[in-house]
Structure 1
Amino acid sequence: MAKYQSRLDKRSKKNTNKILNIMIAVVLLLIVVVGGTIVFGGGGDEKATTDAPKNSETKDAKSATSSKEKQDSDKSVSMEENSDAEDKANEEQKDDDKKKEDEQKQDGSSDENKESVALDDSKMKVEKGDGPNVEKTMVHPDWKPVGTKQSGEHASSYEPGSADWQEKIKAVSYATGIPESNMTVWYIEGNGGPQKSMATVTTKDTKTPYRVYLQWVDGKGWQPTKVQELKENDKD
């Protein structure tokens, strides 16, 4: 009986040892699985973490490229706008120059007329008066028409302020050398024909009276033909 019991105890110990060995093996297997999971899982995270900056750098590079392209595009647009503005300014300048040139032609301010204003006084022919109220008579061989803005058939006007009236005053100033600002106009009248006039004026400072004879030249305006210095103002 004691021997039988001893056999049972030995068998029981073997079974127990076998179970323990299985459990230990299971535990070791679990440790290996868990360890492998941790190792391989951590490597994946590291790779993801490592790749993240690369993706960020790629995005930054794309953003920088896009920004540069936009700046280049803006510069191109700006240069085109500047070029258009310069072209417009040049066209406006050309238009202004042409307008001024046309106005000068209409005013009789061409080079020929500008030269005619600068007269050589030594050429002035001065004679004694040919009338009771005439101190002296003056004629300059280089007198020319002063120019006109009028077009079409000319009609002499004696309306103060009209274009024809103003051009008569301009011719009087040209012939006498009296600036319009220092001139008093007493009378402008016809002189024996529709294209002839004469004006009686005095200077504001010396009060010296003059009578100026004018002849109309088609397309060129009024031209002085004779100036008389009077002894007294007979239109006062």
Structure 2
Amino acid sequence: MAKYQSRLDKRSKKNSNKILNIMIAVVLLLIVVVGATIVMGGGDEKASSNAADTETKNTETKDSDKSNKNAEKDDKSVSLDENKKSEEKENEDKKDEEKKSDEENQKDKASDEEDTVKLEGEEQSELKVEDSDEPNVKKTMVHPNWKPIGTEQSGEHVSSYDMGSADWQEKVKATSYATGIPEENMTVWFIEGNGGPQKSMATVTAKDTKTPYRVYLQWVDGKGWQPTKVQELVENDKD
């Protein structure tokens, strides 16, 4: 009986030791698991922190690049504005110079016109004007200082009524000289002979007033056509 009891005690003690060892193993396992969890969690937090830092740095870099680009854009905008203002100023200065130049030219032109009017006035004072009783003639004008207008023709003169000829053009020039109507404001209706090879007469009107005139011309050798008489007509009989 005593032997049997001793065996039971040994077996019971052996079972207790096994249970104790199992519990110790479980505790150790829990410690390992908890430690690993802490380590891994810390690593994730560190990785997360690093990722956050990297993202922050990237954001700061992007913001910095954007700021630099905006600054460059602003600099370019300022530069363009300055160039534009400079060009506008140059254009304004140029316009001012052109305006001054035009004003000076107008003054010179007005002065020249005044001198011309004065000369014409002096010449007109010697113009003899008489009323006429001829049919279709309102008045007759003769100036003692009318001179030949000059010529480019040489050799024996032959009066020409061809519109393209030099002689025709010189007749038109002499008619303009006698009437005072510029060639560009004068309509030539007819140029014809007047009783001799070196005599002609032209019928013209002023484009602006429509006033008709007949101009009598005489050829002077080496000097060209000279007006001898101008008649202001009642109506244009060559129309």
User: What TM-score comes out, normalization by structure 1 length?
Assistant: 0.52
Structure 1 partner of 2:229: 228
CA apart distance, 1:13: 0.8
The answer to whether 1:172 aligns with 2:175 is yes
Equivalents in 1 of 2:199, 2:64: separation in Å?
88
Of residues 198-207 and 39-48 in structure 1, the stretch that sits farther from structure 2 once superposed is 198-207
Give identity over the alignment, percent.
20
CA apart distance, 1:32: 1.3
What's the RMSD between the two structures over aligned residues?
A: 5.4
Structure 2 partner of 1:105: none
CA apart distance, 1:121: 2.6
Structure 1 partner of 2:47: 44
The answer to whether 1:138 aligns with 2:138 is no
**Please, which of 59, 64, 69 is the counterpart of residue 62 of structure 2?**
59
CA contact (8 A) 1:172 1:224 kept: no
Structure 2 partner of 1:22: 25
Structure number with bigger Rg = 2
> What letter corresponds to residue 209 of structure 1 in structure 2?
R
Equivalents in 1 of 2:16, 2:225: separation in Å?
155
Structure 2 partner of 1:121: 121
**Please, which of 201, 204, 211 is the counterpart of residue 203 of structure 2?**
201
> What letter corresponds to residue 187 of structure 1 in structure 2?
I
Closer, same or farther: CA 140–61 of 1 in aligned 2, 3 Å: farther
Equivalents in 2 of 1:45, 1:224: separation in Å?
112
Matched pairs, number: 192
CA contact (8 A) 2:148 2:224 kept: yes
CA apart distance, 1:37: 0.8
**Please, which of 158, 163, 179 is the counterpart of residue 160 of structure 1?**
163
Structure 2 partner of 1:211: 216
CA apart distance, 1:230: 4.7
SS in 1 for 2:25: helix
> What letter corresponds to residue 200 of structure 1 in structure 2?
A
Closer, same or farther: CA 3–231 of 1 in aligned 2, 3 Å: closer
CA contact (8 A) 2:215 2:227 kept: no
Closer, same or farther: CA 33–51 of 1 in aligned 2, 3 Å: same
Equivalents in 1 of 2:127, 2:15: separation in Å?
166
SS in 1 for 2:215: strand
SS in 1 for 2:41: helix
Which stretches in structure 2 are left out of the alignment for 5+ residues?
102-108, 155-159
CA contact (8 A) 1:185 1:199 kept: no
SS in 1 for 2:35: helix
Closer, same or farther: CA 128–177 of 1 in aligned 2, 3 Å: closer
CA apart distance, 1:12: 2.7
The answer to whether 1:186 aligns with 2:190 is yes
Equivalents in 1 of 2:79, 2:166: separation in Å?
53
